[in-house]
Amino acid sequence: MAEQGRPSSLLILIFLVYLSSVSADTTEYVTAVGDPGMRRDALRLAIESWNQCNEVGEEVPRMGSPRAADCFDIYRAIPKRNEKNCSLCKLLPYILVHRITELDNRLAVGDPFPGLHAEALLNPNLYAALKELYLGAKCQVEDTPNPWQFWMIMLKNGNMDTFASRCPKNGHKVGPFGPDTAFPCFGKGCMNHPLMYHDYTTLQGPNLTTLKGRFHGSWDLDAVFIGNGNNNSYYSVTWEKEIGKGKSWVFHHVLRTSKRYPWLMLYLRSDATSGLSGGYHYPTRGMSKIIPESPNFKVRFTLNVLQGGGPNSQFYLIDIGSCWKNNGQPCNGDVTSDVTRYSEMILNPNTSAWCHPDNLGVCPPYHTFRNGTQVHRNDTARFPYAAYHLHCSPGNAEHLEEPYSLCDPYSNPQAQEILQILPHPVWAEYGYPARQGEGWIGDPRTWELDVGRLSHSLYFYQDPGTPSARRQWMSVDLGTEIFKDPDQVAEWTVSDLDIIVPKKMVTT
């Protein structure tokens, strides 16, 4: 029995543990994005389209370079102090002033604009990259510690014409080859971008207080485009919000594949506001005014999956993208030595773990538990095989542990490394789903994911003896990749998206 008036050692230990937990829970966080929680009435939004290797290649006639934006400011039509004497205020309560015109959005190769370099005027890849910077400058909002531009809708066509020599192999240009059954292609022109139609945000509803707009289109260019039907490929992103309610925009996504376009992608992204974003070797623009870095950031959002996109829809609860060289140095745009790194949580319960004791080549060499314990993939008693769908290694890595699987060498401008994880109890400690089916169709949820701490523990390849890379994630994405599966439809909504970082980590 403890001496009267003096606490026992056990009580002291319990109290210290309590203080530690309180301290951990009271970390002060700040937002890393310009529009925290998607609550800003004056929207900043852009859309981009890529071919299989994250380039443009060729523009679609009359559609312009595949970059466009919807950015506007909103004003009261009549100052609030004069509303009582204003009989017309209810008819026109607000005015939208759009920063991006249709002429801006339809800019195509050969059209000049401020900031365009001479060498990019007739180069579709360079032109699109500079057009994004131009649109970003017109949308830009000054902020602390950095200005920001827009949320980004990303479209990608997985078709690849192996005879066209458009895509490098691990960053090195290669000539025609094939045919190759790994890549769908109906023939010349299969890598095209979609039609890109834009319904600018307008005031709608009985009181003209609902903001609503849309981007939509189809990759089937020769079809009569009438929307999501007739077996045409199709995409649509609609955004809607009530003015002044303090609630989030709701982004409603639809993606449909077709026989000619069975491999399509649609994401909503928060990209870096300057420098490179995940998967690209051109400077980009985006929403992340602070680049989140492992292990110190969390991501919040609300996701409602309405249709899953079929068994081959790699629906990403979250996908984060970064870039560093195999020696740990940051990427500098040299596609022969840069490596894109992706970590993706696949939510679709139809996706099974390819990683298992009889298929170690698609497992990471080891797993790190939250307490820091590492378990090698040969340890069949303790390695959580069911937590991993796939790990593939960069094609330019020189010291890989056998067995290994190499990533697709064509679908990024440079080599890439991908780690795809599945719902599992080992990830539940970070706020991720513990079981298949959580957060899927009929189970909408608001998530708070400790993405920074989880991504800090994941395996990514580095050359032996090199300093550990800084894991800075320039892109945070939500959405789906329907993988070589025609006539499938995915539908989902996203709202409340925010990335938060500890205030003490922010420098101005």
pTM, full prediction: 0.92
According to the model, what pLDDT value does residue 15 have? 43
Q: Whose CA is closest to 201, among 139, 289, 112, 154?
A: 139
- Which pair of structure tokens corresponds to residue 306? 């309405």
According to the model, what pLDDT value does residue 92 have? 82
- Which pair of structure tokens corresponds to residue 323? 């870039």
- 265-278 burial, b at 16+ Cβ within 10 Å, e below that, comes to bbbbbbbbbbbbbb
Q: How far is CA 304 from CA 301, 433, 441, 478, in A?
A: 10, 14, 7, 11
According to the model, what pLDDT value does residue 421 have? 98
Bridge partners (DSSP) of residue 1 are none
Q: How far is CA 464 from CA 191, 387, 399, 401, in A?
A: 38, 26, 7, 11
According to the model, what pLDDT value does residue 81 have? 62
According to the model, what pLDDT value does residue 506 have? 83
According to the model, what pLDDT value does residue 446 have? 98
Q: For each of the chain's 508 residues, which pLDDT tens digit applies?
A: 444 445 555 444 444 444 444 444 468 999 999 999 999 999 999 999 999 999 999 999 999 999 999 999 999 987 666 666 666 666 789 999 999 999 999 999 999 999 999 999 999 999 999 999 999 999 999 999 999 999 999 999 999 999 999 999 999 999 999 888 999 999 999 999 999 999 999 999 999 999 999 999 999 998 665 555 578 999 999 999 999 999 999 999 999 999 999 999 999 999 999 999 999 999 999 999 999 999 999 999 999 999 999 999 999 999 999 999 999 999 999 999 999 999 999 999 999 999 999 999 999 999 999 999 999 999 999 999 999 999 999 999 999 999 999 999 999 999 999 999 999 999 999 999 999 999 999 999 999 999 999 999 999 999 999 999 999 999 999 999 999 999 999 999 999 999 999 998 886 5
Q: Is residue 230 within 8 Å of 223, Cβ to Cβ?
A: yes
Q: What one-character DSSP code corresponds to residue 18?
A: H
According to the model, what pLDDT value does residue 231 have? 84
Q: How far is CA 157 from CA 162, 238, 307, in A?
A: 14, 20, 20
Which runs of consecutive H residues, i.e. helices, occur in 239-303?
Answer: none
According to the model, what pLDDT value does residue 230 have? 72
